[in-house]
Amino acid sequence: MGLYACVASAVWVQRLLELGVKDIQLRIKDRPALELEHEVAKAAESCRKAKARLWVNDYWELAVRYKAYGLHVGQEDLDRLMTSPDLPLVAVKNEGIRLGISTHTFAELGRAIALRPSYISLGPIFSTTSKKVRFGPQGLARLRQWRHLVNVPLVAIGGIGLEAAQGVRDAGADGICVISALTQASDVAQAVHAWRAVLRTGK
Ligand code: 3NM
């Protein structure tokens, strides 16, 4: 899977597509419904043209409507999806939309595995300021444990900078999901280039 970018707008999606990023999660919080839909529609169209994989965070109806490659859900999103009587996860799977699930604990991991996702993420590997997470850093030892338990692609997320990428890879991550390492980079093109170079090598 390699480099997996997580961004909050269709403009960022387009920018990263132009730099060759192939897995992008659109993670938008607290935007009016119409704006949100517009962003997802735009991002989906851009990814289709670029033959890249768009993962929509949380908004399963939009992921279905705009035929995103996948839906990424956190644990709270999953709680809602699983307690909704019409079981949206079934609709998502029926539409051929892949599922990616965030995990932080063994209990969460067990539930995630049961849902047969296309990838499982573990976070935060290191401390991060990009998201308020209820958990402290998991570290590479936890990532190695997950590697033994997970037989779908494993994505590491949270506080991962380029200098740590090889170690994270060696601990078993198939993909590394980043926000700030790209969106806060002084030179985004150079950052993408460097990340792709590191993640092309190794397994
Ligand atoms: N989810 P950065 S950590 C969106 O642990 C997200 O599930 C996490 O951003 C989790 O690369 C995180 O800037 C933030 O640290 C990742």
- What are the residue ranges spanned by the domains of the chain? 2-200
Beta bridge partners of residue 142, listed in sequence order = none
Interstrand relation of 70-73 and 2-7 (parallel, antiparallel or unpaired)? unpaired
The single residue of 15, 27, 53, 169 carrying the catalytic annotation is: 27
Smallest CA separation from ligand 1 atom 4, residue: 131
Q: Compute mean pLDDT per 10 residues along the chain, 203 residues long, and list them.
A: 96 98 96 96 98 97 97 95 90 96 97 96 97 94 98 98 97 98 98 94 51
Q: Which mutation among 12, 57, 131 tests ligand 1's pocket best, with the greatest number of atoms within 8 A of CB?
A: 131
Distance CA 111, CA 135 (A): 18
H or E element that contains 24? strand 23-26
Q: Locate the DSSP E strands across 31-174.
A: 53-57, 70-73, 98-103, 119-122, 154-157
Distance CA 73, CA 95 (A): 16
Contact 27, 44 (CB under 8 A): no
Is 65 annotated in the active site?
Answer: no
Which one, of 130, 136, 134, lies nearest residue 180 by Cα? 130
Contact 24, 17 (CB under 8 A): yes
Residue 201's pLDDT is what? 63
pTM of model > 0.90: yes
CB within 6 Å of ligand 1 — which residues?
Answer: 6, 102, 123-124, 128, 130-131, 133, 157-160, 178-181
Distance CA 2, CA 9 (A): 21
Residue 202's pLDDT is what? 47
Residue 88's pLDDT is what? 93
What's the gap in Å between 165 CA and the centre of ligand 1?
15
22: helix, coil or strand? coil
Q: Report ipTM (2 d.p.).
A: 0.99
Residue 67's pLDDT is what? 97
Angle at 25 between CA 24 and CA 28, to 5 degrees: 140
What's the gap in Å between 114 CA and the centre of ligand 1?
23
Residue 203's pLDDT is what? 43
Smallest CA separation from ligand 1 atom 7, residue: 123
What is the CATH architecture assignment of 2-200? Answer: Alpha-Beta Barrel (3.20)
Tokens of 70: 């996948």
Distance CA 46, CA 13 (A): 8
Residue 21 burial (CB count, 10 A) = 22
Locate the ligand 1 atom nearest the alpha carbon of residue 128 and give its number.
Answer: 15
The single residue of 46, 102, 118, 121 carrying the catalytic annotation is: 102
The single residue of 42, 65, 67, 131 carrying the catalytic annotation is: 131
